[in-house]
């Protein structure tokens, strides 16, 4: 366990562990709705799912401001990210390149993150939604790029109205935030290009 | 931390695995994820100096370097062939810097880096195509200013491209663009498919493979995820058509592959052969024989396994 002063180790083999995790993330966002395993290469700090920690260690650095819930920002997770990624932890959701939210918490809304602008839609926030599970919840049917026909997912532990927010995000396309639903060592991609067809 | 030395035991200074440093790979990886999330949109990235000249595939090499790992098998083609200069050099680059396993067989490869062709053998789910792109902006010849083309993409203002195709038809009776034929991706962005022949455009439509595009000199990355709509621009009364040939491949007899015309003497003699060298060899090994195979093997131009 981690006490207040101790920062856990990052990758033991940064080159290959980050490469493996990146390929899982690339597969997750290019085939939305399929859960991918990011591995258990590190011991995540309190408050971050293992997949969240691996994804941020793989992608974040001094160029990418990160938004965390206040409790995480001021706790070991914030210290861990500052130390390993050198990333700035920002207070305004709209300034973040990456954000971590609790899927069950009512705030912040997805719309408070940066959706990019029409000439640079790539400057939007990638939001990691830590949820109670990637199956066993309310079934939602997806369609769009990366999906042959339809795909049904049922992540658990998401706040009421979450899917309406996701639908609202998809209507902004090609703007919008990109979501990764994470639980344990797994991540499931929901990029802005994915449409919700059979919600609720 | 980023120097990877396990490739060989000798004391030569080692580059990082796959040449690029980890900070650069993270930057390219972030660009790739955004590219996948907005199919067809060109994501700017900080293209690095590579140990070969811009225009020789530096964009594709940087993309491959950012994704490749020990589990991958790499195939590199140049105009469909595995054995031409650019393909051989890039394959050797990754053998040396990433200890990469390489192959010429399309179905064995997990990453296929390509210049100007898509293999004839159908691509599979899980494979990644990496295209080398000289000019990522399909509108550049119509509008030289980046500030303007960026607005045209932002507002889906693609009338100029339709006018260009229309003028082609008005003047020549058909669209004369035969390579780098513009496509509409996911119904939103007009995209340059890189200088592949328009023969290959239909292979991009709903492909099960992930397609990544890297333009090193122009500093752009874009992508087409699997199962994504990629429609070649056309008109209802002038539908998109691919090239066709009056004769099959002279070596393997294939009537459905993309053929290169080869001048064989100064008497006007010529032959048509598959541009995809692995496809042609596979067919010959399966016993398919084209009209000129016997002559070509007698001159030791191809290996003929009877």
pLDDT in tens, B55-90: 899 999 999 999 999 999 999 999 999 999 999 999
Confidence class for position B42, pLDDT limits 50, 70, 90:
very high
Helices (H), B208-285: 277-285
The stretch B177-183 carries a mean pLDDT of 96
Give tens-digit pLDDT for B120-135. Answer: 999 999 999 999 999 9
Residues from chain B that touch A29, judged by Cβ atoms under 8 A, are: 33, 36-37, 225
Spatial contact of A189 and A33, defined as CB atoms under 8 Å apart: yes
pLDDT for the residue B304: 60
Mean pLDDT over all residues of chain B?
93
Q: CA-CA distance, B114 to A99, in Å (whole number)?
A: 35
Structure tokens at B120: 């004839």
How many structural domains compose chain B?
2
Spatial contact of B202 and B242, defined as CB atoms under 8 Å apart: yes
Interface test with A, best of B22, B28, B36, B208 (most A CBs within 10 A): B36
Residue B1 has pLDDT above 50, yes or no: no
Spatial contact of B229 and B242, defined as CB atoms under 8 Å apart: no
Residue B187 has pLDDT above 60, yes or no: yes
Spatial contact of B233 and B159, defined as CB atoms under 8 Å apart: no
Residues B174 and B71 in one domain: yes
Residue B295 has pLDDT above 90, yes or no: no
Residues from chain B that touch A41, judged by Cβ atoms under 8 A, are: none
Q: How far is A180 from chain B (nearest CA, A)?
A: 11
DSSP state, residue A133: B
Phi/psi at B26 (5° precision): -60, -40
Q: CA-CA distance, A195 to A172, in Å (whole number)?
A: 11
Residues B217 and B296 in one domain: no
Q: What angle do CA B285, B288, B293 make, to 5 degrees?
A: 90
Residue B72 lies in a domain: yes
Phi/psi at A2 (5° precision): -110, 130
The stretch B195-222 carries a mean pLDDT of 97
Buried residues in B104-126 as b, exposed as e (16+ CB within 10 A)? bebeebbbbbbbbbbbbeebeee
Residues B127 and B180 in one domain: yes
Q: Which of the pair, B297 or B112, is modelled with greater confidence?
A: B112
Calculate the alpha carbon distances from A147 to A27, A55, B26, B66, B304 in Å.
12, 23, 26, 24, 43
Spatial contact of B275 and B260, defined as CB atoms under 8 Å apart: yes
Q: What angle do CA B80, B82, B84 make, to 5 degrees?
A: 90
Residues B46 and B191 in one domain: yes
Residue A2 has pLDDT above 50, yes or no: no
Give tens-digit pLDDT for A92-122. Answer: 999 999 999 999 999 999 999 999 999 999 9
Q: How far is B141 from chain A (nearest CA, A)?
A: 20
Residue B122 lies in a domain: yes
Closest CA to B90 of B106, B114, B69, B67: B114
Chosen domain end from B199, B232, B265:
B232
Spatial contact of B15 and B65, defined as CB atoms under 8 Å apart: no
Residue B14 lies in a domain: no
Residues B104 and B41 in one domain: yes
Q: Please report how many Cα atoms fall inside a 13 Å half-sphere around the Cα of residue A191, on the Cβ side.
A: 28
Structure tokens at B8: 């060989």
Confidence class for position A1, pLDDT limits 50, 70, 90:
very low
Task: Report the share of chain B in percent with pLDDT over 70.
Answer: 94
Q: Which is it for strands B43-44 and A195-196: parallel, antiparallel or unpaired?
A: unpaired
Spatial contact of A101 and A69, defined as CB atoms under 8 Å apart: yes
Q: Tell me the catalytic residues of B.
A: 40, 249, 252, 274, 280
Nearest-by-CA chain B residue for A179: B37
pLDDT for the residue A200: 46
Q: Which is it for strands A126-130 and A140-143: parallel, antiparallel or unpaired?
A: unpaired
Handedness of CA A42, B73, A188, A86 (dihedral sign): positive
Beta-carbon count within 10 A of A11 CB: 17
Domain of residue B205, CATH code: 3.40.50.11310
The stretch A44-59 carries a mean pLDDT of 96
Range of the domain at B61: 22-140+166-232
Element (H, E) at A186: strand A186-190
Residues B219 and B274 in one domain: no
Q: CA-CA distance, B200 to B22, in Å (whole number)?
A: 34
Q: How far is B125 from chain A (nearest CA, A)?
A: 10
Spatial contact of A71 and A46, defined as CB atoms under 8 Å apart: no
Residue B131 lies in a domain: yes
Calculate the alpha carbon distances from B249 to A92, B117, B178, B296, B304 in Å.
62, 17, 20, 13, 15
Give tens-digit pLDDT for A125-153. Answer: 999 999 999 999 999 999 999 999 999 99
Residue B3 lies in a domain: no
pLDDT for the residue B10: 55
* 3 state SS of A102: strand
* 3 state SS of B200: helix
Spatial contact of B253 and B290, defined as CB atoms under 8 Å apart: yes
> Across-strand partners of B44?
B220
Instruction: Work out how many CB contacts closer than 8 A connect A with B.
Output: 114
* 3 state SS of A160: coil
pLDDT for the residue B280: 95
Interface test with A, best of B3, B4, B37, B147 (most A CBs within 10 A): B37
Residues B110 and B133 in one domain: yes
Give tens-digit pLDDT for B6-20. Answer: 555 555 557 899 999
Residues B170 and B109 in one domain: yes
pLDDT for the residue B300: 80
pLDDT for the residue B141: 95
Spatial contact of B209 and B123, defined as CB atoms under 8 Å apart: yes
Contact A18/B223, CB-based, under 8 Å? no
- CATH fold, domain A14-196, is Rossmann fold (3.40.50)
Interface test with B, best of A30, A65, A120 (most B CBs within 10 A): A30
Give tens-digit pLDDT for B240-277. Answer: 999 999 999 999 999 999 999 999 999 999 999 999 99
Residue B6 lies in a domain: no
**CA B164 and chain centroid, separation:** 24
Residue B206 lies in a domain: yes
Closest CA to B181 of B170, B194, B169: B194
Closest CA to B67 of B33, B96, B93: B33
For tokens 């692995």, name the residue: B278
pLDDT for the residue B261: 94
Element (H, E) at B149: helix B146-154
Calculate the alpha carbon distances from B258 to A138, B227, B276 in Å.
49, 23, 7
Out of B39, B43, B70, the one facing A145 most closely (by C-beta) is: B39
Q: Please report how many Cα atoms fall inside a 13 Å half-sphere around the Cα of residue A154, on the Cβ side.
A: 6
């Amino acid at each position: 366990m981690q006490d207040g002063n101790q920062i856990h180790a990052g990758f033991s083999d940064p080159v290959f562990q980050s490469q493996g995790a990146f390929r899982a993330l690339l597969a997750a966002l290019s085939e939305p709705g399929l859960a991918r395993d990011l591995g258990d290469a590190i011991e995540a700090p309190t408050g971050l799912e293992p997949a969240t920690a691996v994804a941020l260690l793989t992608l974040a650095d001094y160029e990418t401001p990160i938004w965390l819930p206040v409790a995480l920002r001021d706790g070991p997770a914030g210290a861990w990210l500052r130390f390993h990624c050198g990333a700035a932890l920002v207070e305004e959701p709209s300034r973040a390149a990456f954000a971590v939210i609790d899927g069950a918490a009512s705030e912040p809304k997805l719309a408070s993150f940066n959706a990019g602008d029409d000439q640079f839609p790539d400057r939007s926030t990638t939001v990691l939604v830590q949820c109670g599970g990637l199956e066993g919840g309310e079934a939602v049917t997806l369609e769009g790029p990366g999906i042959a026909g339809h795909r049904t997912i049922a992540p658990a532990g998401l706040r009421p109205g979450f899917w309406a927010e996701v639908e609202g995000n998809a209507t902004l396309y090609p703007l919008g935030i990109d979501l990764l639903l994470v639980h344990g060592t797994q991540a499931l991609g929901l990029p802005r290009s994915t449409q919700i067809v059979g919600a609720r | 931390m980023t120097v990877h030395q396990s490739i060989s035991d000798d004391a030569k200074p080692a580059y990082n695995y796959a040449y690029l440093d980890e900070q650069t790979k993270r930057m390219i990886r972030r660009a790739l994820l955004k590219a996948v999330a907005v199919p067809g949109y060109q994501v700017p990235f900080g293209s690095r100096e590579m140990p070969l000249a811009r225009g020789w595939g530096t964009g594709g090499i940087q993309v491959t370097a950012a994704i490749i790992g020990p589990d991958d098998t790499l195939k590199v083609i140049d105009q469909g062939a595995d054995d031409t200069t650019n393909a051989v050099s890039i394959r050797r680059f990754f053998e040396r810097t990433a200890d990469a396993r390489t192959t010429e067989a399309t179905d064995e490869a997990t990453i296929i880096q390509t210049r100007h062709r898509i293999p004839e053998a159908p691509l599979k789910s899980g494979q990644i195509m990496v295209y080398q792109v000289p000019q990522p902006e399909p509108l550049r010849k119509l509008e030289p200013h980046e500030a303007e083309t960026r607005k045209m993409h932002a507002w889906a203002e693609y009338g100029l491209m339709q006018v260009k195709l229309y003028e082609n038809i008005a003047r020549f009776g058909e669209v004369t663009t035969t390579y780098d034929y513009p496509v509409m991706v996911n119904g939103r962005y007009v995209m340059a498919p890189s200088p592949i022949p328009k023969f290959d455009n239909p292979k991009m439509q709903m492909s099960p493979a992930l397609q990544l595009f890297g333009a090193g000199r122009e500093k752009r990355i874009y992508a087409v995820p699997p199962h994504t709509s990629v429609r070649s621009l056309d008109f209802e009364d002038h539908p998109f058509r691919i090239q066709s040939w009056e004769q099959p491949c002279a070596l393997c007899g294939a009537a459905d592959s993309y053929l290169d015309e080869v001048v064989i003497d100064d008497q006007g003699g010529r032959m048509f052969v598959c541009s995809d060298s692995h496809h042609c060899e596979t067919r010959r090994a399966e016993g398919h024989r084209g009209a000129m195979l016997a002559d070509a093997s007698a001159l030791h131009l191809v290996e003929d396994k009877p």
